[in-house]
Amino acid sequence: MRFTKFLTLLLFALGICQFAYSNNTANPEYTLVIEGFDWGPMVNKVIVGLDAPTKTVEMQDYNVMAERSHKCAEIPAAFAKGNRTVVFAYVSDNKGNRVEEGSFVTLVLYVAPNSPICSAFQYSQKAACRGNQWVDYKVTVTNTKTNQVWNKEKNRMMPLADEFDLTGKYEYEAGKNLTYASYSPKNNSKKLPLIIWLHGGGEGGTDPSIAMLGNKAFNYASPDIQKYFGAAYVLVPQTPGAWMHDKDGKTQSGNGEDVYNVGLMKLIKDYVSKNPMIDTKRIYIGGCSNGGYMSLKLILKEPKYFAAGYISALAYQSQYITDAQINSIKNVPIWFIQAKDDKVTDPLLTAVPVYERLKKAGAKNVYFSFFDHVTDLSGMFGGESYYFNGHWSWIYSHANQVFKDFDGSYVRLNGKPVSLME
């Protein structure tokens, strides 16, 4: 009797251990979801697999620890490791799509512009890795009830950005290349416009995903913007350095000659020639800061090639543009965007005088949205009371939240107020 009771207890204990052991050694793989926000790319979801299908999930059962590292860029200790807050959890498929019953759980993580532990990028000032860099982002997910652990990345998803081709590379001179990301509309049977975006000074390199996600440039492929064009191609070129660099690698503001404008124009024309469904009468070019400089530079060089320009935080100083050049582009529709508290590219030296000179020259289709500050468009972090860096006026462009001219009046088309992309 005693032996039978002992055997029963032993088998029960072994069963518990086996259950715990099987849960701890279950498939430890997860999928990271990285989405681009107004302030940059954030790890905002993680998808984990279960041992068996379920219909319910409790977010409080999950703990997520994140670690950020980079072989070159320095990451402050406070932003290198920390807990991530789970704000919601739901049963899903392996792509994060919500289902009534499934074998995966998607954990939605808190993100914010002032929470670096959430960021997939690290900005670096080091010469060997200057600018925005992808970090090695690892998470450890623990189910605190079952002790099951997921700590190995299997897949990575970047919604909308994954629809871009990131393999673009163009050799404009022997041994000299520009990389680019591109988006092609699906099932198009008619000529469509091309939207070009030129990144800022922090997104140079040879990985065009940085140029696309360093700020929210991929959003030009979003349905909300594509609808205005009946679909459009999107091209995001990337320079290995900075668009404003001269032959010695020094930044100039229009007073010298950069080393990329000729090669970039060749890239654009090559891309257009290889995509015959692009409407060559509707090629739009825009950019921010360094990219704003280059956008205006290309318009000045070939004003008849571009249908319009949309330029944020212009870095091209007005003093280096001649009256003859101003006159040559007065018929090109251009919409400038900048904030009054921009401390990086002084609007009183750049966009303000350029705009005023164009208007004085008789430009009929030139606008300038001059914001007091760059604020939180989502309303989640204080709305109009939350101020981003004043240089980040491209946030308004990517979100298509640009409506007013320099005097505060709405820009109108056929009497109707319109947005930038509209």
- Cα separation, 157 vs 45, whole angstroms: 10
Q: What pLDDT, on the 0 to 100 scale, is given for residue 126? A: 93
Q: What pLDDT, on the 0 to 100 scale, is given for residue 68? A: 98
Instruction: Give the 3-state secondary structure of the chain.
Output: CHHHHHHHHHHHHHHHHHHHHHHHCCCCEEEEEEEEECCEEEEEEEEEEEEEEECCCCHHHEEEEEEEECCCCCCCHHHCEEEECEEEEEEECCCCCECCCEEEEEEEECCCCCCHHHECEEEECCHHHCEEEECEEEEEEEECCCCCEECEEEEEECCCHHHCEEEEEEEEECCEEEEEEEECCCCCCCCEEEEEEECCCCCCCCCHHHHHHCCCHHHHHCHHHHCCCCCCEEEEEECCCCCCECCCCCECCCCCCCCCHHHHHHHHHHHHHHCCCEEEEEEEEEEECHHHHHHHHHHHHCCCCCCEEEEECCCCCHHHCCHHHHHHCCCCCEEEEEECCCCCCCCCCCHHHHHHHHHHCCCCCEEEEEECCCECCCCCCCHHHCECCCCCCHHHHHCCCCCECCCCCECEECCEECCCCC
Task: Kindly state the average pLDDT of the residues 411-418.
Answer: 95
Q: What pLDDT, on the 0 to 100 scale, is given for residue 27? A: 82
Task: Kindly state the average pLDDT of the residues 194-199.
Answer: 98
**What angle (nearest 5°) sits at the alpha carbon of residue 366, between those of residues 362 and 369?**
135
pLDDT digits (tens, 9 = 90+) for 144-153: 999 999 999 9
283 touches 272 (CB < 8 A): yes
Half-sphere CA count of 202, side-chain side, radius 13 A: 18
- Which pLDDT band, with edges at 50, 70 and 90, does 330 fall under? very high
- Cα separation, 363 vs 79, whole angstroms: 48
56 touches 91 (CB < 8 A): yes
- Which pLDDT band, with edges at 50, 70 and 90, does 1 fall under? very low
- Cα separation, 218 vs 181, whole angstroms: 9
Examine the pLDDT at 234 and tell me if it is beyond 60: yes
Task: Kindly state the average pLDDT of the residues 24-28.
Answer: 66
pLDDT digits (tens, 9 = 90+) for 97-133: 999 999 999 999 999 999 999 999 999 999 899 999 9
- Cα separation, 111 vs 117, whole angstroms: 9
pLDDT digits (tens, 9 = 90+) for 252-262: 999 999 999 99
| β-sheet bridge partners, residue 66 | 82, 139
235 touches 414 (CB < 8 A): no
- Residue 133 tokens read as 């860099």
pLDDT digits (tens, 9 = 90+) for 29-49: 999 999 999 999 999 999 999
CB atoms within 10 A of CB 129: 16
- Which pLDDT band, with edges at 50, 70 and 90, does 26 fall under? low
Examine the pLDDT at 158 and tell me if it is beyond 90: yes
Examine the pLDDT at 4 and tell me if it is beyond 60: no
Residue 31: closest CA among 107, 133, 83: 107
The four Cα atoms 325, 316, 296, 212 give a dihedral, to 10 degrees, of 170
| β-sheet bridge partners, residue 34 | 43
pTM of the predicted model, to two decimals? 0.92
Pairwise pLDDT comparison (21 vs 217), residue with the higher score: 217
Mean pLDDT over the full length of the chain? 93
Instruction: Report residue 420: phi and psi, to 5°.
Output: -55, -55
Task: Kindly state the average pLDDT of the residues 274-279.
Answer: 96
Task: Kindly state the average pLDDT of the residues 178-207.
Answer: 95
Residue 284: closest CA among 376, 145, 422, 144: 422
Q: What pLDDT, on the 0 to 100 scale, is given for residue 23? A: 44
Q: What pLDDT, on the 0 to 100 scale, is given for residue 14? A: 44
- Cα separation, 100 vs 92, whole angstroms: 8
- Which pLDDT band, with edges at 50, 70 and 90, does 394 fall under? very high
Domains of the chain: 25-157 (2.60.40.2180), 161-417 (3.40.50.1820)
